[in-house]
């Protein structure tokens, strides 16, 4: 078949197709774009694997004559991310305070070397947020017991055990620090510390634990804090919404539900307007204060006194300081008839 040509040496005289420059390579590697990413349904069974210069990067060949780069998730095995706060039981091993997290966290969800598969495609039967005053930290996707459940991204299994609430639970930690939770499984197919790819079957859907019917309870967490998975995934189509996702701190809260982008823009604009308004008020007040201070300073600088000497008259003082008798009277609260006592200070300006 056509793919075997890859193994043949370049025939003499044929055009040399070896990639020689980084620029050429970039033309071939699909770079991150703004478009959403389709779930890689049916693209998990590679026909063949080719080595590259990097031992952790392979080229996978698929039956439909397509190919893609594949990054061995074990390349990250020495990364602190997969060694620190690494427990096999606690859903939240971090115990980090929200105040310690930045307001915005930019996360690469997929890049040129990683992929994505929707864990289970379907319309959520229960969304993220408060439900009968109980926090619901994920989305529920109905399924038939026995349906394969896929790891959404590459990563390493942190938890694979029965939990009273979650039932059979698998938690996978990913390169970007995110963790995904897969709960109520009827079967678990992975073990603690196992490396998985996006699209690896981590278990089968079910209704174990606190569940009223077969469904996948799916959570996305950052540093132990859950946020609405719908920020990332459109479950009815299985599409990933972002390659680069800006996780805002305010999403890390059970009352912060996903808002479609178009509406979110309006909210941002309104919030932006309000911020601009507050900023403008603050600036205007500052300017007003500064102006008053400047006026006072100017007035202080302009104020001038004359110490009355024997023989001084208001008329003579007025002429000397280029002002009027009336002005002198007004500035000092005196009348033209007031007796000028030597040594007294008279304001002249
Ligand atoms: Zn649930």
Flag whether pLDDT at 157 surpasses 60. yes
Helices (H), 253-324: 261-302, 314-320
Q: Domain range for residue 295?
A: 266-301
Residue 61's pLDDT is what?
84
- Average pLDDT score over residue span 125-136: 87
Confidence of residue 4 (pLDDT cuts 50, 70, 90): very low
CA 150–ligand 1 middle distance (angstroms): 17
Confidence of residue 77 (pLDDT cuts 50, 70, 90): confident
pTM, rounded to two decimals = 0.65
Flag whether pLDDT at 273 surpasses 70. no
Confidence of residue 55 (pLDDT cuts 50, 70, 90): confident
CA 85–ligand 1 middle distance (angstroms): 25
CA 19–ligand 1 middle distance (angstroms): 49
CA 119–ligand 1 middle distance (angstroms): 14
The CA distance from 9 to 17, in Å, is 11
For the ranges 157-166, 170-179, 247-256, the lowest mean pLDDT is seen at 247-256
Flag whether pLDDT at 213 surpasses 50. yes
Please tell me whether residues 121 and 161 are part of one structural domain: yes
Rg (CA), the chain: 36
User: 99 by DSSP, 3-state: which?
Assistant: helix
Please tell me whether residues 222 and 326 are part of one structural domain: no
Strand duo 139-142 + 215-222: pairing: antiparallel
Please tell me whether residues 188 and 231 are part of one structural domain: yes
Please tell me whether residues 66 and 12 are part of one structural domain: yes
Please tell me whether residues 258 and 109 are part of one structural domain: yes
CA 100–ligand 1 middle distance (angstroms): 28
Residue ending a domain, choose from 75, 102, 133 = 75
Please tell me the total count of domains within the chain: 4
């Amino acid at each position: 078949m056509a793919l075997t040509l890859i193994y043949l040496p370049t025939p003499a005289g044929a055009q040399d197709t070896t990639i020689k420059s980084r620029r050429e390579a970039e033309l071939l590697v699909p770079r991150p774009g703004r478009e959403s990413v389709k779930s890689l349904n049916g693209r998990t069974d590679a026909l063949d694997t080719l080595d590259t210069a990097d031992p952790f990067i392979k080229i996978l060949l698929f039956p439909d004559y397509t190919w893609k780069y594949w990054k061995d998730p074990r390349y990250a095995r020495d990364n602190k991310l997969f060694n620190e706060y690494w427990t096999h039981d606690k859903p939240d091993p971090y115990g980090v305070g929200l105040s310690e997290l930045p307001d915005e966290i930019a996360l690469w969800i997929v890049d040129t070397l990683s992929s994505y598969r929707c864990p289970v495609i379907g319309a959520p039967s229960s969304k993220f947020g408060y439900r009968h005053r109980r926090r619901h930290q994920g989305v529920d996707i109905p399924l038939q017991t026995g349906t394969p459940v896929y790891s959404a991204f590459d990563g390493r299994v942190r938890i694979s055990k029965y939990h009273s609430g979650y039932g059979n639970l698998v938690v996978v930690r990913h390169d970007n620090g995110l963790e995904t939770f897969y709960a109520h499984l009827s079967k678990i197919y992975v073990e603690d510390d196992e490396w998985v790819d996006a699209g690896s079957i981590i278990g089968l859907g079910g209704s174990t634990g606190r569940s009223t019917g077969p469904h996948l309870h799916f959570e996305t967490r950052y540093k132990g804090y859950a946020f609405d998975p719908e920020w990332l995934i459109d479950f009815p189509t299985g599409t990933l919404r972002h390659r680069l996702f800006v996780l805002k701190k305010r999403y890390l809260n059970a009352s912060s539900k996903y808002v479609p982008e178009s509406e979110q823009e309006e909210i941002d604009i309104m919030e932006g307007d309000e911020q601009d308004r507050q900023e403008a008020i603050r600036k205007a007040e500052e300017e007003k204060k500064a102006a008053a201070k400047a006026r006072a300073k100017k007035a202080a600088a302009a104020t001038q006194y004359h110490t009355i000497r024997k023989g001084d008259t208001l008329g003579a003082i007025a002429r000397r300081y280029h002002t009027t008798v009336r002005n002198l009277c007004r500035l000092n609260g005196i009348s033209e008839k007031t007796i000028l006592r030597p040594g007294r200070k008279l304001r002249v300006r």
